[in-house]
A and B are shown apart, each in its own frame.
Chain A
Amino acid sequence: MNVTNLASIASALVAAAALVTAAPPHAFADVESILQSQCASCHALQAPANNIAKNERLSRMAPPLHFAGNKYNRDWLVSWLSNPSPIHPAGYYPQRHIINTGDGDTLDTDVRFAHPTLSTEEADAVATALMLLKSKSALIEADTYQSGTVAMRMGVMDFRRFKGCDACHQDSTTSGGLSGPLLYNAAQRLQAAYLSSFILNPVAWDPNTVMPVLEMNEPAVHKLVHYLLMLEE
């Protein structure tokens, strides 16, 4: 065996060793750089100051992700990030896409949904990183929701007639308003405690939310959460 061969074997070994030892930190660095370079331009990854100005909402491009770990079901995140589809039927800030016809508003149908798509491996790694973002944990800890059921007919009446949620949200693919995120897949997408806490007080989650506080007591909120969690997509 000559020196050149030895050297090349040695360098191959060093390279292999470097790959092996570098793998976990390397993957982590990738996730960080994906989040910073491909996501942070649109999504807030850190909680904003408490006294944030109202007009911040006008220029905000996308839902905040700094409480992602308190909001999403991980499985849903992985599958959505690798195959994204609309959640806000009229876009995140619908007013950007409204056409005033002179006799009422319609949506600009030329606007197409577009979102970065990740490979399954990237989606899995990014989901893991997002699940670590847990601002607002105190709200989850204060929440009292316990799973339960409600008669389906009552749930529908409550959501659509009595509480007026369907003015802004869809609870089926064929029913409900357009300005809020669709909720017929809430069971797959969102954690139960988040649903309960957000419906009780959306302003506590986001001072510039455009969802009103519906001024309900906790049992009334919990019935709505039972209903949403019972919906099949």
Chain B
Amino acid sequence: MRNQLKNVVRVTGIGALAFLANLGPAFGAEADGALLYDMYCVQCHGTQGNGKGINASHINVQPRSHIDKGEMSARSDAELFKVIAEGGPAINKSVLMPAWRHNLNESEIEALVAHLRKLCCEN
């Protein structure tokens, strides 16, 4: 399985995206969110959203696990939007969670919030 996965990663060249896409048949409205998550967030939060990305061991604060249903359910959509747009300090969290409002427009951040809901609570 691991080797198979490795091959998928090689062949598609966008392994993480293909992996996420394979998880669910619905790849319409959420597609955008999955793509953006792969592009910007996976480096720290990990391909599975479990907080264990390739940078995680170099960050003093563990990136939030986005598949932790308990923690993620405690946040409103508005709070999630705020922390993605303005960074950790906007909700009294670490500066090591950067602000993304300059890289992403509002509808892109909304797509990410929807994708986070899918990651945490639709498995």
Q: Give A residues with C-beta under 8 Å from B.
A: 54-55, 57-58, 90, 94-101, 103-108, 110, 161-164, 166-168, 175-179, 201, 203, 209-210, 212-215
- Which of B46-54, B71-79, B115-123 contacts the other chain? B46-54
Cα distance, A206 to B47, chains bound together (Å): 24
Q: Is the CB of B19 within 8 A of A100?
A: yes
Question: B13 in the interface, Cβ–Cβ < 8 Å?
Answer: yes
CB distance from B105 to the nearest CB of A (A): 10
Chain A residues within an 8 Å CB radius of B39: 54, 57-58, 95, 210
Cα distance, A212 to B101, chains bound together (Å): 9
Q: Is the CB of B55 within 8 A of A178?
A: yes
Q: Is the CB of B58 within 8 A of A108?
A: no
In the complex, the chain A residue whose C-beta lies closest to that of B36 is: A54
Question: B92 in the interface, Cβ–Cβ < 8 Å?
Answer: no
Q: Give B residues with C-beta under 8 Å from A.
A: 2, 5-6, 9, 13-17, 19, 35-36, 38-40, 42-44, 46-48, 50, 52-56, 58-60, 87, 95-96, 98-100, 102-103, 108
Q: A58-B17, A167-B96 are in contact. Are A210 and B6 (CB under 8 A)?
A: no
Q: Is the CB of A104 within 8 A of B17?
A: no
Q: Is the CB of B52 within 8 A of A103?
A: yes
Q: List 26 A-B contacts (CB under 8 A).
A: A58-B35, A95-B17, A95-B39, A97-B9, A98-B9, A100-B5, A100-B19, A100-B47, A100-B48, A101-B2, A103-B50, A104-B46, A104-B50, A104-B56, A105-B46, A163-B95, A164-B98, A177-B54, A179-B44, A203-B102, A210-B39, A212-B98, A212-B99, A212-B100, A212-B103, A215-B87
CB distance from B83 to the nearest CB of A (A): 13
Q: Is the CB of A179 within 8 A of B43?
A: yes
Q: Is the CB of A168 within 8 A of B9?
A: no
Interface centre among B35, B43, B46, B108 (most CB of A within 10 A): B43
Chain B residues within an 8 Å CB radius of A176: 58
Chain A residues within an 8 Å CB radius of B47: 95, 98, 100, 105
CB distance from A181 to the nearest CB of B (A): 13
In the complex, the chain A residue whose C-beta lies closest to that of B44 is: A167
Contact of B98 among A58, A108, A214 (CB under 8 A): A214
